Chains A and B, each alone.
Chain A
Amino acid sequence: MAYPENLLYSKSHEWTKIEGEEAIIGITSFAQEQLGDITFVELPEVGDTLEVGDEMGSIESVKAASELYIPVSGEVIAINEDLEDAPEKVNESPFEGGWLIKVKLSEEPKGLLSASEYAELVANEAH
């Protein structure tokens, strides 16, 4: 499985795309595969201020529900409203159309993994 090189990853399987002072966040292809068919995504509200590691919502599939944790600190400036009617986009396109939220960073992201480090983590988890 290939993980885009231009993204940063967290151990709880979120990806972060840094764009200057902003970041887009989603869940990885591995995470959506583990969850199965996604039926509902609960996201924070625009304007919410979150600290790294805070719960930013939850994601439900036909067989499970998991919390989503924010990998960076900042203020939510956009959420992917398409997911309300089409949560399956997270399965279909986890790194693109299935993005979750966009934040304005309040501090430099720390402790995130590179694509190769994350691939190693996944390889270990899969065993």
Chain B
Amino acid sequence: MPYTPHTAEETQAMLDVIGVRTIEDLFADIPADMRPKSFDLPQGLSEMETCAYFEQLAGKNKTGLVSFLGAGFYNHYIPKAIDNIVGRGEFYTAYTPYQPESSQGTLQAIFEFQTAVCNLLEMDVANASVYDGGTAIFEAMMMAVRAGRKRKKIVIDESVNPIYRVMLDTYTDNIDIDIVVVPHTEGLSNVDALKAAIDADCAAVVVQNPNFFGNVQDFTDLFEHAHANKALGIISVYPVMQSVMKTPGEMGADIAVAEAQSLGQPLSFGGPYLGVMSCTKKMIRQIPGRIVGRTEDVDGKTGYVLTLQAREQHIRRAKATSNICSNQALCALRALIHMSLLGPEGLIRTAELSMERAHYLADRLTMIDGVELLNDAPFGNEFAIRLPINAEEAIEALMDKGFVTGFPAGRYYEGMDNVLLVACTELHSFEQIGVFTELLGGIL
């Protein structure tokens, strides 16, 4: 085994200092019957055997597929420079800056990331990031519940990504919060029903844009209604699309969150992801996580600091509004470099190309007999279609041909077994779209 943290001599030297004879003596306080009988670990393997084992596992993955799968996670182009920059030892470390101010480079990167997020979403404040988009929605909900004091109800639109709604159920299982789900209508948010659900007990209303079915809606009016009823507006967004769509800030959202995988993170088997959180200045004391600020030292030199730490657990203890002291620093840095390299024009171009491809694909697919769009509402780079057959069947049939058809809506929505979610990005060629259309037409 090449990984040996301590030699037998070093271990013995430490035991001598402590004043015990064996490692076993260290655990003398734990009764024998309370100790694990076995850790059930296999025998160690050599490096060669380990590599062979994992290569055999990796071989089970289907690779080289042309994928039209989205559902919250999108295969956008990632500039090669990103890997190169984040691979630098100064960034590529598992070290959380516990003496943050001595890590000026890390703090500056986070500060710039926060700035980029605020610019993209047109919000006042952003934190250093959280684990993923689902965590970000949960934390936003908790912010609203804290700010709403006695209000314990969260109204959430059914067209918010169901993967995240499952997470919210798990998170709130033992918390006194009542989540009220307002059904969608043919893939669209039912704004009137959402408004009707906002009452004196409602802390916030939660929506998504574009929603799970890819449709784009303006929630300005909904948020106004929420504010009139002293509730907050929370919106989850797809960052790339914010370059061409009405932003959370423009809509009057109080808290805007996102899964920022689409900004420079590869799709690697479900993570790591990047949760983005931003809010209005008024909500700044409720936002969890780290916030980096820019200031000047006594000599007038620019310096970066962790600010508003009175929110955090090491100061406020049980009353902390923030119990997340880590962040996705490396993923946030990737997102920052991605946004910096593309610039505003590049992000707009990415969104436009993705939408153009998706609209072309929708036109082609709906020419197939029996295939129709779920609704006529505007969509971005993803849309839902109704098939004459079960969506899972269609996915299965095309998998063998090297195509991932999309996401079966029936997995989370009753009565939608024939509904398929299809997404495009700038990486899809017109040729791929043509072949995909032919193949799908062929099985229907």
Rounded to whole angstroms, the CA-CA distance of A64 and B310 in the bound complex is 6
Q: Which of B285, B310, B315, B319 has the most CB of A within 10 A?
A: B310
Q: Which chain B positions have C-beta within 8 A of A42?
A: 285
Q: Does B411 contact A (CB under 8 A)?
A: no
Q: Does A40 contact B (CB under 8 A)?
A: yes
Select from chain B the residue with minimum beta-carbon distance to A48: B149
Q: Say whether A40 contacts B315, CB under 8 Å.
A: no
Rounded to whole angstroms, the CA-CA distance of A40 and B308 in the bound complex is 10
Q: Does B316 contact A (CB under 8 A)?
A: yes
Q: Which of A42, A60, A65 has the most CB of B within 10 A?
A: A65
Rounded to whole angstroms, the CA-CA distance of A39 and B311 in the bound complex is 12
Q: Which chain B positions have C-beta within 8 A of A40?
A: 285, 310
Q: Does A58 contact B (CB under 8 A)?
A: yes
Known: A40-B285, A42-B285. A67 touches B310 (CB 8 A): no
Select from chain B the residue with minimum beta-carbon distance to A42: B285
A54 to chain B, nearest CB (A): 12
Q: Size range of the interface on B?
A: under 10
Q: Size range of the interface on A?
A: under 10
Rounded to whole angstroms, the CA-CA distance of A60 and B285 in the bound complex is 10
Q: Restricting to B314-340, which residues have a CB under 8 Å from any CB of A?
A: 315-316, 319
What 0/1 readout, one digit per residue, does chain A (67-87) give for beta carbons within 8 Å of chain B?
100000000000000000000
Rounded to whole angstroms, the CA-CA distance of A42 and B285 in the bound complex is 10
Rounded to whole angstroms, the CA-CA distance of A121 and B310 in the bound complex is 27
Rounded to whole angstroms, the CA-CA distance of A42 and B283 in the bound complex is 12
Q: Say whether B319 contacts A67, CB under 8 Å.
A: yes
A-B contact pairs, 15 of them (CB 8 A): A39-B310, A40-B285, A40-B310, A42-B285, A58-B319, A60-B285, A60-B310, A61-B310, A64-B310, A64-B315, A65-B310, A65-B315, A65-B316, A65-B319, A67-B319
Q: Which chain A positions have C-beta within 8 A of B285?
A: 40, 42, 60
Q: Which chain A positions have C-beta within 8 A of B319?
A: 58, 65, 67
B145 to chain A, nearest CB (A): 16
Which residues of B does A touch, CB under 8 Å?
285, 310, 315-316, 319
Select from chain A the residue with minimum beta-carbon distance to B317: A65
B266 to chain A, nearest CB (A): 40
Select from chain B the residue with minimum beta-carbon distance to A40: B285
Rounded to whole angstroms, the CA-CA distance of A67 and B316 in the bound complex is 9
Q: Which chain A positions have C-beta within 8 A of B310?
A: 39-40, 60-61, 64-65
Rounded to whole angstroms, the CA-CA distance of A58 and B315 in the bound complex is 13
Q: Restricting to A29-64, which residues have a CB under 8 Å from any CB of B?
A: 39-40, 42, 58, 60-61, 64
Select from chain A the residue with minimum beta-carbon distance to B285: A40
Rounded to whole angstroms, the CA-CA distance of A42 and B284 in the bound complex is 13
Q: Which of A40, A58, A60 has the most CB of B within 10 A?
A: A60
Select from chain B the residue with minimum beta-carbon distance to A59: B310
Rounded to whole angstroms, the CA-CA distance of A65 and B322 in the bound complex is 13
Q: Which chain B positions have C-beta within 8 A of A65?
A: 310, 315-316, 319
Rounded to whole angstroms, the CA-CA distance of A61 and B308 in the bound complex is 9
Q: Which chain B positions have C-beta within 8 A of A60?
A: 285, 310
A84 to chain B, nearest CB (A): 10
Q: Which chain B positions have C-beta within 8 A of A64?
A: 310, 315
B280 to chain A, nearest CB (A): 15
Q: Which chain A positions have C-beta within 8 A of B316?
A: 65
Q: Which chain A positions have C-beta within 8 A of B315?
A: 64-65
B134 to chain A, nearest CB (A): 29
A46 to chain B, nearest CB (A): 14
Rounded to whole angstroms, the CA-CA distance of A65 and B285 in the bound complex is 12
